[in-house]
């Protein structure tokens, strides 16, 4: 094997939403399964520093890494496919790149030179592409360029790719993802958009090595030949990427098209033995042959855009497979739930999950959903704001604290059972007060959570400002809601449970960020198992 890190750039043409993230993750999976340590990076051309302050309706879920980076949801796919944690370096944005260049300018690092897109911004981009390579842990770094080729915002990124292709000639390739649409009226697949999009790349000085063609129908030999000829790529580098039933099918579809083989060939790497995908294949088999079906209600306020809860819905797929069942998620808008309609709306669900979130909208519906689950012994899982709602609900209806609330929503509540810790209050920058990333948590022996994890010491990722107010802990525990997980350093409550309930767990952290195909998350697995038991009783 060559000593230098290899770089694979993935660009997209014709239209957005072609699934660059899934193609990148699938290619990485195949290379990893051949024994190459591989990571994936996403470069987002928007000017926000990170998606942390973005409304989920804009870009879907904000994914959080161990080191506390708020990142694009594609990083979730990378982790779920590869089972290797990502970090801040795996996600860069134009905002971060400009911020860093401007800070360098203020420090005088450019020695009085005029600071320009080329070379200063492009140098910064190239440096950030190589950070992961320089770590020395990865043989191959796949860098996904967000947006569509031709967008004004992505020009500096394509230019950085062009320069790297020139500087590291033997260590870089470009995989271009494009669309081959089917025109029903003509009854034909059309290659013109692909030709145009490759032309656009060529105008920017980049010749793609491999074309991944998204299509709804088979790309026959004639079409492949035509694309190869017009786009200057070899025949075996025209890869068909058909719509798949599940994103988890894509690695196998790409393997059938020999994408990994062609990539290795072009990078000058040996194609070591065939990829070992035993675990993956057995996951897929169980995914497609579930023994039963469950319905779990997901109560949230962004349910119109399911990408807002991407990691949660994927966690249910993993946990379903682990339990040999299919979990169908019923998306329920918290704003529509009231005391009056709650029975009608939630009846028949096998489990209830109250989702994370920020702000007051829909909070009363979430609290009603918790109450329904608690009073009717329906398995309940509250995540972050969902856990906080469980605490508020318990305070109001079990402890009798009428106006109990979180200070996020009711600053003058008489019973601030969820509140901001003193140290956090002084930090005012948006984003600055957030507890982000991995923290340790110690679990109580014999609790439902320690049984699920099969250990008492865990690490989970956080993204929130408010915390359980420990001034009330004794009252809660006496009344039957127990803190079964605590931060060993700060004593902050990380998990609450009601032991007298069949399965009632609230977690201040976000378990969904750590569920992968190889390691379905233990809390989701236990929750789904409890839902099966509830259903079968």
Q: Is 51 in the site for ligand GLN (CB under 6 A)?
A: no
Give the helix ranges, DSSP H, for 176-290. Answer: 192-203, 221-231, 250-256, 259-267, 278-288
Active-site entry in 59, 510, 521, 534:
510
Choose between 19 and 300: whose C-beta lies nearer to ligand GLN.
Answer: 300
Rule CB under 6 A: say whether 465 interacts with ligand GLN. yes
Position 20 contacts ligand GLN (CB under 6 A):
no
110 binds ligand GLN (CB under 6 A): no
Q: Interface with ligand GLN includes 298 (CB under 6 A)?
A: no
Closer of 221 and 430 to ligand GLN (Cβ): 430
Q: Which of these is catalytic: 79, 240, 257, 512?
A: 512
Q: In the block, which residue shows the tokens 């025109």?
A: 183
218 is catalytic: no
Cα–Cα distance between 351 and 534 in angstroms, integer? 8
Name the minimum Å distance from CB 383 to ligand GLN.
7
Rounded distance between C-alpha atoms, residue 81 and residue 440, angstroms: 24
If one asks whether residue 464 binds ligand GLN (CB under 6 A), the answer comes out as yes
Per annotation, catalytic residue among 213, 384, 389, 441? 384
Looking only at residues 386 through 425 of this chain, which bind ligand GLN when binding is defined by CB under 6 A? 408
76 binds ligand GLN (CB under 6 A): no
Q: Is 356 in the site for ligand GLN (CB under 6 A)?
A: yes
Tokens of 160: 């950085």
Q: List helix spans (H) across 241-308.
A: 250-256, 259-267, 278-288
Tokens of 7: 């770089």
42 binds ligand GLN (CB under 6 A): no
Q: What is the spatial distance between Cα 80 and Cα 283, in angstroms, rounded to a whole number?
A: 13
For 166, the token pair is 């020139």
Q: Which range touches ligand GLN (CB under 6 A), out of 5-13, 38-46, 354-362, 451-459?
A: 354-362
Q: Which of 128, 366, 405, 463 binds ligand GLN (CB under 6 A)?
A: 463
- If one asks whether residue 60 binds ligand GLN (CB under 6 A), the answer comes out as no
Is residue 168 close enough to count as binding ligand GLN by CB under 6 A?
A: no
Q: How far is the CB of 433 from ligand GLN (least distance, A)?
A: 9
Does 506 engage in binding with ligand GLN (CB under 6 A)?
no
Q: Which is nearer to ligand GLN, 466 or 524 (CB)?
A: 466
Tell me whether residue 36 or residue 466 sits nearer to ligand GLN (CB atom).
Answer: 466
512 is annotated as an active-site residue: yes
17: left (phi over 0), alpha (psi -120 to 50) or beta: left
Number of residues that bind ligand GLN (CB under 6 A): 10
The helix, strand and coil proportions of the chain, stated in percent and rounded to the nearest 5, come to 40, 20, 35
3 state DSSP class of 190: coil
Name which of 80 and 464 has its Cβ closer to ligand GLN. 464
CB 337 within 8 A of CB 365: yes
Q: Which of residues 358-377 bind ligand GLN (CB under 6 A)?
A: 358
Query: Where do the H-state alpha helices sit in 83-182?
Result: 94-106, 122-134, 155-167
State the minimum distance, in angstroms, from the CB of residue 508 to ligand GLN: 8
Among 466, 468, 503, 524, binds ligand GLN (CB under 6 A): 466
What six digits make up the tokens of 227?
């694309």
- CB of 32 or CB of 388, closer to ligand GLN: 388
Residues 300-329 interacting with ligand GLN (rule: CB under 6 A)? none
Asked if residue 514 binds ligand GLN (CB under 6 A), the reply is no
Q: Are residues 213 and 240 in contact, defined by beta-carbon separation less than 8 angstroms?
A: yes
CB 239 within 8 A of CB 219: no
CA distance 317 to 515: 10
Residue with tokens 């001034």: 471
61 or 144, CB closer to ligand GLN?
61
Contact predicate 518/83, CB 8 Å: yes
Distance CA 198, CA 185 (A): 25
Residue 462 annotated among the catalytic residues of the structure? no
Q: Omega of the bond prior to 212 within 30 degrees of 0, cis?
A: no
Question: Which two three-digit tokens encode residue 161?
Answer: 């790719």
Cβ at position 353, least distance to ligand GLN in Å: 12
* Residues forming the site for ligand GLN (CB under 6 A): 356-358, 384-385, 408, 463-466
Q: Which residues are catalytic?
A: 384, 510, 512
């Amino acid at each position: 094997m060559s000593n230098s890190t290899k770089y694979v750039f993935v660009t997209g043409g014709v239209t957005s939403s072609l699934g660059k993230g899934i193609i990148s993750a699938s290619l990485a999976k195949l290379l990893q399964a051949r024994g190459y340590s591989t990571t994936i990076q996403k470069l987002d051309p928007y000017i926000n520093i990170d998606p942390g302050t973005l409304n989920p309706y804009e870009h879907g879920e904000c994914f959080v890494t161990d080191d506390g980076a708020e990142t694009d949801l594609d990083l979730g796919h990378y982790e779920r496919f590869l089972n290797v944690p990502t970090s801040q370096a795996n996600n860069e944005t134009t905002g971060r790149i400009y911020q860093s260049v401007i800070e360098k300018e203020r420090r005088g690092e450019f020695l009085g030179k005029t600071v320009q897109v080329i070379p200063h911004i492009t140098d910064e981009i190239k440096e950030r592409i190589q950070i992961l390579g320089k770590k020395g842990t990865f043989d191959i770094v796949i860098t996904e360029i967000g947006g569509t080729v031709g967008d004004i915002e992505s020009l500096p990124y394509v230019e950085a790719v062009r320069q790297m292709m020139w500087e590291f000639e033997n260590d870089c390739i470009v995989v271009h993802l494009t669309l081959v649409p089917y025109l029903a009226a003509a009854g034909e697949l059309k290659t013109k958009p692909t030709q145009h999009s490759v032309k656009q790349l060529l105008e920017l000085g980049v010749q793609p090595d491999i074309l991944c063609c998204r299509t709804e129908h088979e790309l026959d030999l004639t079409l492949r030949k035509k694309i190869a000829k017009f786009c200057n790529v070899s025949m075996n580098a025209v890869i068909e990427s058909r719509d798949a039933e599940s994103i988890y099918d894509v690695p196998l579809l790409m393997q059938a098209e020999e994408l990994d083989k062609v990539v290795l060939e072009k990078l000058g790497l040996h194609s070591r033995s065939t990829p070992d995908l035993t675990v993956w294949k057995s996951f897929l088999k169980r995914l497609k042959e579930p023994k039963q079906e469950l319905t779990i209600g997901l109560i949230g306020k962004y349910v119109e855009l399911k990408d807002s809860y991407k990691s949660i819905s994927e966690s249910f797929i993993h946990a379903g497979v682990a339990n040999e069942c299919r979990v169908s998620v019923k998306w329920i808008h918290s704003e529509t739930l009231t005391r009056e309609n709650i029975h009608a709306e939630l009846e028949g669900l096998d489990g209830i999950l109250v989702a994370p979130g920020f702000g007051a909208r829909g909070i009363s519906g979430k609290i009603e959903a918790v109450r329904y689950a608690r009073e009717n012994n329906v398995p309940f899982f509250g995540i972050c704001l969902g856990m906080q709602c469980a605490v508020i609900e318990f305070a109001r209806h079990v402890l009798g604290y009428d106006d109990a609330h979180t200070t996020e929503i009711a600053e003058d509540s008489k019973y601030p059972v969820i509140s901001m810790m003193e140290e956090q209050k002084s930090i005012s920058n948006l984003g600055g007060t957030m507890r982000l990333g991995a923290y340790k948590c110690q679990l109580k022996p014999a609790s439902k959570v320690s049984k699920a994890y099969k250990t008492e010491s865990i690490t989970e990722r956080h993204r929130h400002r408010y915390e359980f107010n420990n001034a009330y802990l004794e009252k809660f525990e006496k009344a039957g809601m127990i803190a079964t997980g605590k931060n060993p350093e700060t004593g902050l409550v990380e998990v609450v449970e009601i032991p007298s309930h069949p399965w009632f767990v609230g977690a201040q952290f976000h378990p969904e960020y750590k569920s992968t195909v190889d390691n379905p998350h233990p809390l989701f697995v236990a929750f789904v198992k409890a839902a099966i038991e509830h259903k079968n009783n």
